[in-house]
Chains A and B, each alone.
Chain A
């Protein structure tokens, strides 16, 4: 077995028993990346020498001692580039560590590499990266999903043991589904956003992408918790997420929302989800049909609220304090206009314009305020559901991985890729995507994701359900033939 094909917990056991050294692990990873990444383009850059230096002092008794973790290019690691997949931040070097990085280091992990993403996390395919798209390891003519598509691709391709991503409307769960790995969107406020470059501040959360559920629990243990540097982080005790994993699902109630079985749901995806429902019944859970009546409005609500927040957050890219600055401006207005014209890609410009519109005088009430009210109704839907069930199960994505280029010219069709994941961000609840089968397209096996959504701060239950399912199947052990 190759070193890099191991999970975090397997690799940790090898390290602790001295069967392998952190140095050997990093070298194996670098070899794997050199061999595979030209096909995948999951990494934007990595600094092996620096990682080797970190490895020298790695304390292997710590929870993630000596384990390299891939970092999405939107999370600050001191002294490393943090470009958000954008030209406007080309050459920018993060002057401080994000809180999640401080926590990873404290747990012995080695932040490794800058991982590709849609520019400023806006997109569902990584095709909006200024540095070119990542490819899906299961079929390199297809997208790995996005925006954390690089993170999902490197984990699926064994170019990383685990990675961090960020999820504003599905950007961890959707690529995890499309690449066949595990992706967790924690409850809003569970993980500090300090050092995460902001996209939509009321929706963004950092979370792990891993090879199995146990690894997801291990990483959640490390990155969760209140932080004085993020006043939206929740001051709530963090349980040991690995502890509840093995308790099973017997007697639990799971809700199957009827609104998720709509036209446009790929028949192979539907079949896989229905089969998972049967598995849960066999494992002793009770699956009930439920209703989340405002589901169809999640997309519209999201595409008002997220661009509105983005248009405000991205105003900071002015070509003065950091990042790209256009040459030869006539005056200050020209300086802003040209810098942002040349620095931002198309999707970022589109969203800033949409956000500017819905916040502009005369339209605020009609769009933004109305969307905030519908957001309340979406959250209420989940609150009502969680009175009847312990968690909600549904597809993560309506389709398996789509072809590169298929949706780039039609933003609305690209936005529809996240139709099943957006609501969790609107409601602030937690969720996970885990592999639940394969679709066959043009002779290729394409992973399908099962989404499990839980009430706020109930990651332990969501991970427990995910683990019970995962352990009753072999989907998570399948590897793309690279």
Chain B
């Protein structure tokens, strides 16, 4: 692995975060150092090692398919920066 293609500007676009040119430059250098450190993982022999996503093997936790308590519409909308007619207002997507 190599961090040569690490491009903060491009990644910020992917992550939907605007960054200032100063931030881009700063993060490029700071995270570059972190990635250099992370490169050490290349020294570890991981052949025949299974990846671990989770500490415990829990699979398929089911419950009965029954309607339980849930938030009222009013409560669910109560934190929305903008709402109208019982709906979230989203910035216009289509022309």
User: Are A340 and B17 in contact, CB atoms less than 8 angstroms apart?
Assistant: yes
Is A261 located at the chain interface by the 8 A CB criterion? no
- Whose C-beta in chain A lies nearest to the C-beta of B48? A373
For window 330-364 of A, CB contacts with B under 8 Å fall at 331-338, 340-341, 344, 346, 349-350, 352-354, 356-357, 360, 362-363
CA distance A414 to B73 in the complex (A): 42
User: Are B55 and A320 in contact, CB atoms less than 8 angstroms apart?
Assistant: no
Residues of B within 8 A of A (CB): 1, 5-6, 8, 11-12, 14-19, 23, 27, 30-31, 33-35, 37-38, 40-42, 44, 46, 49-56, 58, 61, 63, 71, 75-76, 78-82, 88-93
Additional A-B contact list (19), CB under 8 Å, known A202-B55, A320-B89, A412-B30: A92-B79, A232-B54, A232-B58, A301-B41, A318-B16, A321-B80, A323-B79, A331-B92, A336-B16, A337-B16, A338-B18, A340-B15, A349-B12, A360-B11, A367-B1, A371-B41, A373-B51, A374-B49, A428-B56
Q: Chain A contacts of B54 at CB under 8 A?
A: 202, 232, 428
Q: Chain B contacts of A353 at CB under 8 A?
A: 8, 11-12, 15, 17, 27, 31
- Known contacts A321-B88, A324-B81, A356-B14; is A374 also within 8 Å of B41 by CB? yes
Among the listed stretches A1-9, A48-56, A375-383, which one makes contact with chain B, having 4 or more residues with CB under 8 Å of it? A375-383
Closest Cβ of chain B: how far from A130's Cβ, in Å?
A: 16
Is A165 located at the chain interface by the 8 A CB criterion? no
Residues of A within 8 A of B (CB): 91-93, 95-96, 188-189, 202, 228, 231-232, 234, 294, 296-297, 299-301, 303-304, 311, 315, 318-325, 329, 331-338, 340-341, 344, 346, 349-350, 352-354, 356-357, 360, 362-363, 366-367, 369-377, 379, 410-412, 415, 427-429, 456
User: Are B51 and A369 in contact, CB atoms less than 8 angstroms apart?
Assistant: yes
* A contact patch SS: helix
CA distance A124 to B43 in the complex (A): 27
CA distance A91 to B78 in the complex (A): 11
- Whose C-beta in chain A lies nearest to the C-beta of B8? A353
User: Are A95 and B44 in contact, CB atoms less than 8 angstroms apart?
Assistant: no
User: Are B34 and A354 in contact, CB atoms less than 8 angstroms apart?
Assistant: yes
Closest Cβ of chain B: how far from A342's Cβ, in Å?
A: 9
- Known contacts A231-B61, A375-B52; is A321 also within 8 Å of B34 by CB? no
User: Are A428 and B55 in contact, CB atoms less than 8 angstroms apart?
Assistant: yes
CA distance A304 to B58 in the complex (A): 23
CA distance A91 to B37 in the complex (A): 38
Q: Chain B contacts of A315 at CB under 8 A?
A: 16
Q: Chain A contacts of B46 at CB under 8 A?
A: 370, 373-374, 377
Q: Chain B contacts of A189 at CB under 8 A?
A: 55-56, 58
CA distance A21 to B55 in the complex (A): 44
Kindly name the residue among A299, A336, A349, A410 whose own CB sees the greatest number of chain B CB atoms within 10 A.
A349
Closest Cβ of chain B: how far from A309's Cβ, in Å?
A: 10
Q: Chain B contacts of A360 at CB under 8 A?
A: 11, 14
CA distance A325 to B46 in the complex (A): 44
User: Are A412 and B55 in contact, CB atoms less than 8 angstroms apart?
Assistant: no
- Known contacts A95-B78, A372-B53; is A352 also within 8 Å of B1 by CB? no
Among candidates A95, A320, A350, residue contacting B75 with C-beta atoms closer than 8 Å:
A95
User: Are B27 and A349 in contact, CB atoms less than 8 angstroms apart?
Assistant: yes
User: Are A300 and B37 in contact, CB atoms less than 8 angstroms apart?
Assistant: yes
- Whose C-beta in chain B lies nearest to the C-beta of A296? B40
Among candidates A299, A332, A344, residue contacting B93 with C-beta atoms closer than 8 Å:
A332
Q: Chain A contacts of B40 at CB under 8 A?
A: 296-297, 300
Which 8 pairs between the two chains have the least Cβ-Cβ distance?
A: A428-B55, A366-B1, A372-B51, A322-B79, A325-B81, A231-B61, A337-B18, A341-B18
- Whose C-beta in chain A lies nearest to the C-beta of B71? A95
User: Are A333 and B16 in contact, CB atoms less than 8 angstroms apart?
Assistant: yes
User: Are A202 and B53 in contact, CB atoms less than 8 angstroms apart?
Assistant: yes
User: Are A349 and B17 in contact, CB atoms less than 8 angstroms apart?
Assistant: yes
User: Are A294 and B44 in contact, CB atoms less than 8 angstroms apart?
Assistant: yes
Closest Cβ of chain A: how far from B25's Cβ, in Å?
A: 13
CA distance A335 to B11 in the complex (A): 17
Kindly name the residue among B17, B30, B33, B40 whose own CB sees the greatest number of chain A CB atoms within 10 A.
B17
Closest Cβ of chain A: how far from B28's Cβ, in Å?
A: 10
CA distance A96 to B17 in the complex (A): 29
User: Are B17 and A337 in contact, CB atoms less than 8 angstroms apart?
Assistant: yes
Among candidates A202, A332, A366, residue contacting B90 with C-beta atoms closer than 8 Å:
A332
Q: Chain A contacts of B16 at CB under 8 A?
A: 315, 318, 333, 336-337, 340
Q: Chain A contacts of B93 at CB under 8 A?
A: 331-332
Closest Cβ of chain A: how far from B83's Cβ, in Å?
A: 10
CA distance A278 to B78 in the complex (A): 57
User: Are A357 and B51 in contact, CB atoms less than 8 angstroms apart?
Assistant: no
User: Are B11 and A357 in contact, CB atoms less than 8 angstroms apart?
Assistant: yes
User: Are B76 and A412 in contact, CB atoms less than 8 angstroms apart?
Assistant: no
User: Are A321 and B79 in contact, CB atoms less than 8 angstroms apart?
Assistant: yes
- Known contacts A354-B34, A369-B51; is A377 also within 8 Å of B81 by CB? no
Closest Cβ of chain B: how far from A56's Cβ, in Å?
A: 25
User: Are A411 and B1 in contact, CB atoms less than 8 angstroms apart?
Assistant: no
